[in-house]
Amino acid sequence: MSPDISLHRKFVSPEIIFGAGCRHSVGNYASNYGARKVLLVSDPGVVAAGWVADVQASLQRQGIEHCLYTQVSPNPRAEEVMLGAELYRSESCNVIVAVGGGSPMDCAKGIGIAVAHGRDILEFEGVDTLRVPSPPLILIPTTAGTSADVSQFVIISNQQERMKFSIVSKGAVPDVSLIDPETTLSMDPFLSACTGIDALVHAIEAFVSTGSGPLTDSHALEAMRLINGHLVAMIANPGDIALREKIMLGSMQAGLAFSNAILGAVHAMSHSLGGFLDLPHGLCNAVLVEHVVAFNYNAAPERFRMVAETLGIDCRGLTHPQVRQRLIEHLIRFKRAVGFHETLGLHGVSTADIPFLSQHAMEDPCILTNPRESSQRDVEVVYAEAL
């Protein structure tokens, strides 16, 4: 009897170092990979916050040269990736380190891919398109949300087409992730809310994804528990490092879950939106989440009941329609509690944009693992509800 391949589950993750202050050891990890010269990727905001100086000092202590590349937009663009790849080659770098949120980390991943293959980053859209290993890659996240530092996703903006594209491959998983909760101290409350909700959405989508399994479920459920239980308190007490550790740990677990189970319609729609309007990714997810949960619920009711229970909703004696309603209300209340009141309409999305957005969402790989099969018309209806 031949084994059923569809039931096999693989799990990929980088080497993870977790804990306050671990950013200071980046030099040791770079020297383990034989670093002569590091391309250090970041953005102006992270430089201003002082985290890049810590990384530079650590590299200098190990006698490792570096050159700094900070031309990274909030949604990293294909041409920024290619400029970074050019710099990597012209400066004869042999290791890449990124410090920042999802944008510098995705840009750094893209640079590694472009350098290794000697081709334009636009050629690698899709699943399993990478053929050559990237240079050693060490990531230091400064937000608790995107989890680019543990995932096999790279999301890049193609400004010419006004769309984002995804590269999903084991080859995009970084070698080392230094997860230091202290670096999230520079997040403002709105960024904390957006990235925290992004991480919660990662966990929910991974848990109900058709690619979920026992290796991802435990991470997804623990992420929901940590973020649901501590995000409101963390935003109210921004200096509390113990709360930041819990949210950073939740974000990491959500990342391990979605990197391996993949995501669903929230992310497919959010990538389309972010590419079209150049909006923050976490904001797009937060605007869409309860609308997609409402759409998906009946396709995986037992799974969504477990989500509701994990978020602290008492589901005893409730029918599925009642659980669905309570879950949607909880998500809306949770968003308000962290100070999130946005809608798509507030950001200039109009009914006329919906067909374009929906067409691109249908082409995103995340739609393939959504628990409910979706037509373009379904996606249009959900966008309209989120206006």
**Which amino acid would we find at residue 312?**
G
Please list, residue by residue across 360-371, b when 16 or more beta carbons sit within 10 angstroms of its beta carbon and e when fewer do: bbbebbbbebbb
Distance CA 316, CA 323 (A): 9
Nearest to 272 by CA among 380, 192, 197, 198: 380
Residues 212 and 346 in one domain: yes
Residue ending a domain, among 127, 161, 184, is: 184
What do you get for the CA distance between the two ends of the chain, in Å? 52
Which residues in the chain belong to E strands, given as ranges? 15-18, 37-41, 65-69, 95-100, 126-127, 137-141, 153-158, 163-168, 176-179
Per-residue pLDDT of the chain (387 residues; tens, 9 = 90+): 666 666 788 899 999 999 999 999 999 999 999 999 999 999 999 999 999 999 999 999 999 999 999 999 999 999 999 999 999 999 999 999 999 999 999 999 999 999 999 999 999 999 999 999 999 999 999 999 989 999 999 999 999 999 999 999 999 999 999 999 999 999 999 999 999 999 999 999 999 999 999 999 999 999 999 999 999 999 999 999 999 999 999 999 999 999 999 999 999 999 999 999 888 899 999 999 999 999 999 999 999 999 999 999 999 999 999 999 999 999 999 999 999 999 999 999 999 999 999 999 999 999 999 999 999 999 999 999 999
CATH number of the domain residue 357 falls in: 1.20.1090.10
Residues 152 and 200 in one domain: no
Query: If DSSP codes are grouped into helix, strand and coil, which group holds residue 25?
Result: helix
Residues 206 and 156 in one domain: no
240 DSSP 8-state letter: -
Question: How many domains does the structure of the chain reveal?
Answer: 2
Residues 196 and 175 in one domain: no
Quote the pLDDT of residue 177: 98
Is the distance from CB of 289 to CB of 201 less than 8 angstroms?
yes
Residues 35 and 88 in one domain: yes
Residues 110 and 193 in one domain: no
Residues 154 and 203 in one domain: no
Residues 65 and 141 in one domain: yes
Distance CA 30, CA 378 (A): 47
Residue ending a domain, among 150, 184, 218, is: 184
Residues 180 and 237 in one domain: no
Tokens standing for residue 316: 């005893």
pTM, two decimals, is: 0.95
State which residues form the domain around 179: 5-184
Quote the pLDDT of residue 386: 94
CATH number of the domain residue 170 falls in: 3.40.50.1970
Quote the pLDDT of residue 8: 81
Residues 17 and 162 in one domain: yes
Residues 360 and 216 in one domain: yes
In the sheet that holds 95-100, the strands lie side by side as 15-18, 176-179, 137-141, 95-100, 37-41, 65-69
Residue ending a domain, among 184, 215, 230, is: 184
Quote the pLDDT of residue 202: 97
Residues 196 and 53 in one domain: no
Quote the pLDDT of residue 298: 98
